[in-house]
Structures are given as structure tokens and as C-alpha cells.
Structure 1
Amino acid sequence: MSAEGCPQLGSSCAEDPPEQRLYSEAALRCIAELRERALGESAHWPLGLRNEFLLRFLRARDFNIEQALKLLSNYHKWRAECPEICADLRPLTVMGLLKAGYHGVLRSRDSTGSRVLIYKIEHWDPKLFTVYEVFRISLITSELIVKEVKTQLNGVKVIFDLCGWRFAHALQISPTVAKRIAAVLVDSFPLKVRGIHMINEPVLFDSVFVLIKPFLSEKIKERIHMHGSNYQHSLCKHFPAQILPPEYGGHGPAYEELCQEWTEFVLQSEKDLLELSLVT
């Protein structure tokens, strides 16, 4: 059954409170079946099995119950196995990196409806911030945007600006870390990864990519694009120029402005993030 066969009315979680959003009969049947299958596997689901929560996993797997159940199980397993990343998602734990300008989220979606995220490696000082803090920022953003119905349906695309990548960065990416990164991309988080775009990638980055690549699915590998240092023309083939920051060949808001906006939003979301932190 496709996601189109189980529509949910309303365009985003922010626009319609949960109690006002309506589900089709087909969607409710899928949710009920997933819940029954989940309870058959375990009575302990720390984040609960609410309709809107289960719907994330169903949408991420196009309403395939078996695959959605596997994703639900993997998500909880990943959280339990990675306390250094998941145990404390309070904004305070990543504020240094956010204020340094490491991460921003574009205001507008791309032409396919995907959310677009940017990470600037040159603003990650490996002497000050560990790879776990870097990873935690990605998890925090993912947990916030996965609440959006449009994002559940249309997924996410990521731009990694690798300018400034150094040997000190590479040293923090162990095989264990590489496997955990790949797990989130492939089968441990209810977001569809529609594209991964690397720009300014140095030769030194190859050794890290070699570590991660074996853990990636063929589908994800096909969605990785290497743009090099002359990236502005090729990047605009994948993203409308009007949504990209001027630094990346676009006409949208400046990257620094986007970073400030997202940092403020993360701070405003502290209550939700604290609730996720307390769940084990």
C-alpha cells in the first residue's frame, strides 16, 4: 500500500494540532496493524505507539507494515545503543556548535517538497567539539523536522560543505562511528533521505567515505553527489537558486541568517527535546 493510499489531511504538524488532524480509514487500518505487530514483539516501547508517531514509520516505508515495523525496532535499538548521542538532546549540549555556524536549515523546501539542510565543516573545531556532539545536532534537527507531515512525505536533502576538513576531523570518525552514521541514513530513522550533496570535498575525505560506504544501501549510494570546488552550477541543477544562500550560488537568505534562525528554533523546542532525552 502506498503513502498516497493512506493520506492524512493537513499539510504540517505545526498547522493542525494532533487532535484536529484526520486520518483516512486506510491509514487507521495500517496504524492499527503496525501497533498490533509492535505489541506482539514487545510491550515496552519507550516513546509510546501513538497514531501520529507510528505514521512517521509507515510513511518512511511507503506503508509497508513489515518494513515499518523493522524501522520502528531499529530506531529504538539505535537510541538505546547510542546514549552518548541520544541521552541528552537539550539545546545546551550543542549550542556551541550551533553558534559557531555549523548548521543551518533552508527556509524553503526544494521543488520536490524536501527539507534542505546545510552543514559547514569548517565551523566544527575538533579540538572543542566531539563527533558525538556533531552527530547530536543532526539528530536534534531530524527529530524536529520529522514532526512535519510534508517532511515525512517528501524527505530531506543534505548539503555537506567540506571546506576546512582536516586530519583532526578524520581521526574522530572511527569504524564504529561510521557504522552509526550509516545506520541513521539507511534503516534507523523515519526520514527519507532524498539526496546527499558533498561540496569542497578534499582528497583527505576519501578515507572517511571509504569507511562509511560499505554500510550504505545501494539506493543511498545512488543519491550521493560529489560536486567538488566548482559546485555552484551543478548544485543549482539539484536545488532552485531562489532557495539557496548566495554563498552557494543562490538568491535566498544568507547562510549566517539561516543558522541564527535555526538556532532560535532549536532553543524554542527545548521542552520537546527534553522529553526525548528523558526517554530510555
Structure 2
Amino acid sequence: MKVRPLSSELQSIAIKEINEVPGRIPQDISHIRKWITQQPHLKARTDDQWLLNFLRGCKFSLDRTKEMIDSFYTIRSATPEFFANRDPFLPETQRIINLGLFLPIDVQEGPTIILHRTANVDPSEISLVNVIKVSLMISDILLNEDDYCIINGQRFLFDFDTLNVNHILQVTPSLCKKGFLCLKNVYPGKPKGFHLINMPPIFQSLLNLGKPIMGKKLSSRIIVYSKENIHSLYEDIPISVLPVEYGGQGETLEELTLKWKRKVESYRNWFLEETQYGCDESKRILRSHISDQFGAEGSFRNLAID
């Protein structure tokens, strides 16, 4: 079995919090791999570490892991706008990477911090769809190699400092629903909180409209910080890891951006290889809840997210 060993501390957390039984891991991986080979509609990665990442993200529930893997590849095949043409060296991808709009911050002692920034994006030159695509590429990398992120979970820090009406006009209901579908059904993550700073008043109204889509569990984890209470952010996210530009003691935004630019580019062959994996609905034996959200041609149907 080829999997990364965990530190003793992280292994203890995995045993306590996500039901990991180290001696049972080979059996669980073998069970999931066999199940994948029995699904005629599904072509998925089956290496040990990849399957273990899903098992951990689903707290070792075999049924939940199967459902998540099926959803992972079903949604990818049905939303090519997010998951096709993911060569890191494409000009539009390079522009977004260089802006540092989606920057994971390694914490290790707790949930991974993932910083989302609007930065000085010109919506006429950079589409929100491509921004989401790049953020999902980085999410793939985290899923593939960050054990701390998978086991400890994630905290999302959104900075809307430069948000303007042109950005908001790109946010369609369909795009919102697809984004939340990816958040809830594609990645076996554990969102611990959504921390919003520098949010314009107009976005508060949009946020209130979007909460029913997210569901009670996720929406209850949204925290909005005003300029008056911004220092309370440090109570939720360690100041030791926050970027210098946010009053923290961690790396600068420039350093984080360069680090993740190099990381994404190093995954080029992996992303190109990903094109062979997916879901062929014509071969599916039983319809699923996720596949029913998409029409015969992959068009998006009305989505109800609990």
C-alpha cells in the first residue's frame, strides 16, 4: 500500500475525529477500488492515496465515500466550464494565478486557511468562471497532497475589499448553485468556517439571499467582520499565519502567490491526465441524486441543496 505516513499527532486526530483505524485502511481502500471497477459509467483514479483521501474526507463511511466519488466525477463531466482545459500555462489561467486570488495557508495545528481575494480584477478581462476553475484546480492539489487540510478541515477567509458591481453582475443564480454544489458534493472537505471581511453593504443582501441555498449547517458558519470588529478575526484565525498585509506574521501575499503559482504549474501533467477521468451517463445503471441535477446534454437543472 502506497500512502503517506502521518505524524503521530495527526494520526491521533484522525483516529479520534474521523474514525480512522490504521489497520483497516488496506481493506477499506480495496473495497472502494473494487466498487469503482464495478461501475460501468465511472472512470476514476484508483491509487491508494487518492482513495484514502476520500475515505478520510468521508470519515471512513464506505457508503458516503462511494457517493462522494460518484458525485466528484459526475459533476466534473457535467460542468466542463469548470473542469475542462485546465492546462496551468493557458494565458487566462496564468493571469489568474499571477493575481493570487485563491491562496491556501498551511496551519497544521488547526484547519487550513484558504484566502479568497477579489484583488484588482477587471471583469471585462477575467471571467468569474475561470476564477472558479483555478480555485478548483488548487482544491484538487489540496485534496491530493495536504493531509492536514483533509483531516483538520478548512477555514475560508474572503476579502471583498475591491468588490464592485461589475463583479457582482457575473454572479448568476446558475453559477451560484453550481459553485455550492461543488462545495458540498465534489470535495470531501470539512468547512469549519467562512470569514468575510471588507464586505460592501450590497453584498450583505446577496448573502442573505444565498444562505437558503447553502443550508443551515454551512450558513451558520458564516461570520461577517465589520471594520469596527476586524480584530476579532484574530480570535478565529491565528495571527501567526495570516499574511503580513492582514496584520499577521505569516508570509506576504507576494510570497504566497509565487509559491502557489509554482505549485499549480508543477501539476501540469497531472491536470492533463485528469481529462481521461469522468462519468458517462449513458452507461449508468442507476440514476443518482447528483446526476438528476443535470439534463441529458449536461445542462444545469434546478438544484435544491439541503
Q: Which TM-score bucket, shorter chain as reference?
A: 0.7 to 0.9
Matches of 1:123 and 1:11, distance apart in 2: 39
Matches of 1:212 and 1:29, distance apart in 2: 41
2:212 is aligned to 214
SS in 2 for 1:79: helix
Structure-to-structure mapping, 1:72-87, within 5 angstroms = 72-87=69-84
1:175 is aligned to 173
State whether residues 128 and 170 of structure 2, in contact with CA within 8 Å, keep that contact through their aligned partners in structure 1. Answer: yes
2:239 is aligned to 241
State whether residues 186 and 220 of structure 1, in contact with CA within 8 Å, keep that contact through their aligned partners in structure 2. Answer: no
2:98 is aligned to 99
SS in 2 for 1:122: coil
> More displaced, 31-40 or 161-170?
31-40
Deviation string 1:65-109 (CA, Å, 9 cap, x unpaired) is: 111111111111110111011012211242101212323232x31
2:285 is aligned to none
SS in 1 for 2:261: helix
Of residues 124, 127, 130, the one that matches 1:127 is: 124
1:68 is aligned to 65
Matches of 1:66 and 1:279, distance apart in 2: 21
Structure 1 residues 223 and 188, CA gap change in structure 2 (3 angstroms): same
4+ runs of 1 displaced by more than 4 Å?
A: none
State whether residues 197 and 230 of structure 2, in contact with CA within 8 Å, keep that contact through their aligned partners in structure 1. Answer: no
State whether residues 102 and 120 of structure 1, in contact with CA within 8 Å, keep that contact through their aligned partners in structure 2. Answer: yes
State whether residues 101 and 118 of structure 2, in contact with CA within 8 Å, keep that contact through their aligned partners in structure 1. Answer: yes
Residue 55 (structure 1) aligned with residue 52 (structure 2): yes
Q: Matched residues, percent identical?
A: 25
| 2:253 maps to amino acid | Y
State whether residues 108 and 148 of structure 2, in contact with CA within 8 Å, keep that contact through their aligned partners in structure 1. Answer: no
- TM-score under structure 2 length normalisation: 0.78
Shift of residue 211, structure 1, vs aligned partner: 4.8
Deviation string 1:4-61 (CA, Å, 9 cap, x unpaired) is: xxxx76139xxxxxxxxxx943112222333344444x13432233322221221111
State whether residues 158 and 196 of structure 2, in contact with CA within 8 Å, keep that contact through their aligned partners in structure 1. Answer: yes
2:259 is aligned to 261
Matches of 1:243 and 1:214, distance apart in 2: 32
SS in 1 for 2:235: coil
Over aligned residue pairs, what C-alpha RMSD do you find? 2.2
Residue 145 (structure 1) aligned with residue 146 (structure 2): no
Long gaps (5+) in structure 2: 8-20, 279-306
2:10 is aligned to none
Of residues 31, 34, 38, the one that matches 2:32 is: 34
SS in 1 for 2:236: coil
Residue 116 (structure 1) aligned with residue 109 (structure 2): no
| 1:59 maps to amino acid | R
| 1:233 maps to amino acid | H
Structure 1 residues 65 and 263, CA gap change in structure 2 (3 angstroms): same
SS in 2 for 1:197: strand
- TM-score under structure 1 length normalisation: 0.84
SS in 2 for 1:271: helix
State whether residues 245 and 251 of structure 1, in contact with CA within 8 Å, keep that contact through their aligned partners in structure 2. Answer: yes
Residue 226 (structure 1) aligned with residue 260 (structure 2): no
Matches of 2:89 and 2:202, distance apart in 1: 31
> More displaced, 242-251 or 93-102?
93-102
2:158 is aligned to 160
Count of matched residue positions in the alignment of Structure 1 and Structure 2: 260
State whether residues 89 and 273 of structure 1, in contact with CA within 8 Å, keep that contact through their aligned partners in structure 2. Answer: yes
| 1:141 maps to amino acid | I
